[in-house]
Amino acid sequence: MKKYDVNDFLVNESFLDYVINKSDTAVDYWDRTLRDDPKLADIAETAKKIILFENEDKSCLQQDESEDLKKRIFYSIQKNRTI
């Protein structure tokens, strides 16, 4: 069985759909998957916080800065995966 890390979730289209768009198909799949695997759920929760940029001090970045940061994180992860 593959060992997953946060980066796996951050680049997974289905997981991004689950977190951002909340499509019915993605929600059904991920709710079931994460309910059945608590360790995976912990990693997914960390990824979800990164995607939604949840932190203690929400005033530290403006909305457009937050979106720009997310894009740079995703770009960096994708770039590192292809190396």
pLDDT at 67: 73
pLDDT at 63: 67
pLDDT in tens, the chain (83 residues): 678 988 899 888 899 889 988 889 999 999 999 999 999 999 999 989 888 876 555 555 566 766 777 777 777 777 766 65
Report pTM: 0.67
11, 74 in Cβ contact below 8 A? yes
DSSP state of 56: S
pLDDT at 45: 94
pLDDT at 82: 62
Sign of CA dihedral 49, 20, 5, 31: positive
Alpha carbon 32 to chain centroid distance?
Answer: 17
